[in-house]
A and B are shown apart, each in its own frame.
Chain A
Amino acid sequence: MRKLLFIMALMLPMGTVLAQVGYVGQHKYDGEHKNEIAGYAMGGHNVVAGGFGGLELSYKHHFDKHWHVGGDAQAQFGKQLYSVDVQGGFAFSLGWSDFFIDGKAMYNSYSRWNAKETIGNLSVTWEMPYFWLRLGESYIHYKVGDFGYTEPLTLTFGFGANLRPRWNAWNVGLFFRNYDDFYYENWNINWGLNFYAPLVNNLKLFGEFNIRPAGSMSQLATRYETSGKLGIKYVW
């Protein structure tokens, strides 16, 4: 409990707490709890949409120490964005490293701009005690009205560092990536801080603060979106 209070005290000056399911979701099966359910509330500001916010819900089931499946859904006002995805993956360990090979199929409806997006992603994540790296590719097809476009294969890149080893009961991390829970895109590297901390038995608090620039591969580099997430995860 003292640890939790200490972590919360560290977070308070930031003004907001921060979240992302992927941060805790990639952790391997603990050998005891086969089911995970998580949800978060989000809010932020986007150049095009203005203020936005929403709710997200995730479920993951571990069949054994190697295989898992899951699904996520979210609804956001502001962007009028509604998303669902299904995913599955295979995990294995080598020494202190854990590897995750994950596939995801996702559908997004950006109702505000009459856009529907279908995405397939295949990624490999390498988790080390203090660092993680993700590489993959995304297939992205979208329609705006009746205009359909398939993007060339889009590289998935993510990198993160944790203050504590990844098996610690609490953690704070820094990340850089060109995707989020419900989008994959070209070389706009968003970045931020995330954390998780134990609440009570089988329940964790997690959060994220995220800055998403436009044009981060060149001199462009202008703030495009800031957002925060705060959620809880329950395992059984």
Chain B
Amino acid sequence: MMKKIILFTVHCSLFTLITLLMSCEKVSPIGVLVSNTAVEDRVKMSYMYYQDHKADTKWHNVDGKDEYTFLVGADSHLTTDGGRMREMLQNALDHDDLMITHLGDIADTKPEYYILLDDIIDEYRWKYAKKYYEEIYIGYTDDPSEKADPESYLYVDSLYGAAYTIDKVPYPFYPVVGNHDITHNGWALWSSIFHSSFYDVYVVVSNDEPITLDHFIFLDSASGTLGQKQVELIEEGVLDGHDYEKNGYLVRHTFVFGHTNIFRPSSLEFASTFPREESFFLLNQFKEWDARMVFFGHVHKWDYQQDGMTEYITLDSMCEANNPEPGDYLLRVHVKKDGTVTWEKVHMNYKKP
């Protein structure tokens, strides 16, 4: 009798455990203990934002230029020291990079870290606006403090004939979300600054017929899986650029950015990669997109793979806590007018005092 009672108790406990875990998307012991926003919710929110705001700022025009460049960094894990983040943004500003992309785990999940991050981005949004836009004073007085306030100016983009207040200046910083960005209330913090974790950006490289575009795709892989909604959207062709191709546009190069790495640099790297089916789904999808370059972070180690014209690059962490010594943690990609793509590693000098 006692044996049956024990068996029944064990069985009920297991049944309860399974029921709890089946009703929950966090299914590992760590995942159960550490809360985060599930990928399905993030993608639904991001897609709604994407649909509403896609036309706002997601276009760049480099027609007539011999080349454009973009800077890539990963895993900054910003806490109280913004040195490396400032160095990255300053480097992009100094080199006239068209855009800055970040591969996730941008800050560790505390509100004060995100406040610092937001301040740094605002600081460089202002520097960007002052460098590339015409600054028109709209203040009412000659008070030096009012003149020093970025909110006292309108920033005019002569190319598009648009005028922005400082908070609306389309600073070309494009991040993906990483696993450290979504723990606890991370998604609330991250999305309050960056809004969407699933989106794309186009660069017009030629206005001559056919209008030629380069396509930048940003995926949400922070949960180690794209999740069902994102897979469905990808399979529906939301990010394919087919709508533009139907209208006579030519998509020349596709660049893809994500957080979780597919390739492991060594046997001793136990950071979670994608499950098998998802790796195969993604690699097959990259082929369908005819991706020119694909970027990952997450594992904090450099890795390079090549498949014909497709290059897969996994970046090391640019965080001063992970890599305290100066090193080549960033990547700059050069895209020529004739379509030639080259890249170089970019040295970071900042060292924590």
Contact = CB atoms under 8 A, between A and B. Distances in A.
B225 A13 contact: no
Interface in B255-305: 260, 263-267, 269-278, 280-281, 283-284, 287, 305
Interface in A179-236: 183, 185-189, 193, 209, 211-226
A10 interface: yes
A221 B22 contact: no
Contacts of A189: 28
B189 interface: no
Contacts, number: 172
A66 B164 CA distance: 78
Contacts of A186: 264, 270, 272-273
B222 A214 contact: no
Contact of A110 (B231, B272, B274, B280): B280
Contacts of B31: 213, 215-216, 219-222
Given A163-B7, A221-B28, 15 more contacts: A13-B15, A48-B278, A48-B281, A115-B280, A147-B310, A151-B263, A209-B18, A213-B28, A215-B260, A216-B30, A216-B272, A218-B272, A220-B272, A222-B227, A226-B22
A188 B27 contact: no
B284 A14 contact: no
A155 interface: yes
Interface in B94-127: none
B14 interface: yes
B279 to A, nearest CB: 8
A110 B277 CA distance: 8
Nearest to B34: A219
Q: In which size bucket is the chain B interface?
A: 35 or more
Contact of B280 (A10, A144, A213, A224): A144
A144 B283 contact: yes
Interface stretch (B79-87, B144-152, B175-183, B331-339): B175-183
Interface residues of A, number: 53
B196 interface: no
Given A113-B277, A217-B272, A218-B271, A47 B224 contact: no
Q: Is the interface of B mostly helix, strand, loop or mixed?
A: mixed
B21 to A, nearest CB: 6
B283 A147 contact: yes
Q: Which residue, A149, A188, A220, has most C-beta atoms of chain B within 10 A?
A: A220
A131 interface: no
Contacts of B284: 113-115, 144-145
B179 A220 contact: yes
Interface string A137-166: 000001011110101111100000001000
Interface in B1-52: 4, 7-8, 10-11, 14-15, 18, 21-22, 24-28, 30-32, 34, 36, 38-39
B34 A187 contact: no
B223 interface: yes
A224 B225 contact: yes
Given A47-B228, A220-B260, A174 B14 contact: yes
A156 B270 CA distance: 12
Interface-centre pick from A154, A187, A209 (highest chain B CB count, 10 A) = A187
Contacts of B26: 221-223
Contacts of B223: 214-215, 220-222
B230 to A, nearest CB: 9
Instruction: Please provide the 3 A-B residue pairs with the shortest distance between their CB atoms, ordered closest to farther.
Output: A221-B31, A215-B224, A214-B224
A217 B277 contact: no
Interface in A70-126: 79, 110, 113-115, 117
B307 interface: yes
A47 B278 contact: yes
B226 interface: yes
A49 interface: yes
Nearest to A52: B277
Interface string A31-44: 00000000000000
A116 to B, nearest CB: 10
B95 to A, nearest CB: 32
Greatest chain B CB density within 10 A among A49, A219, A221 is at A219
A188 B266 CA distance: 16
Nearest to A184: B276
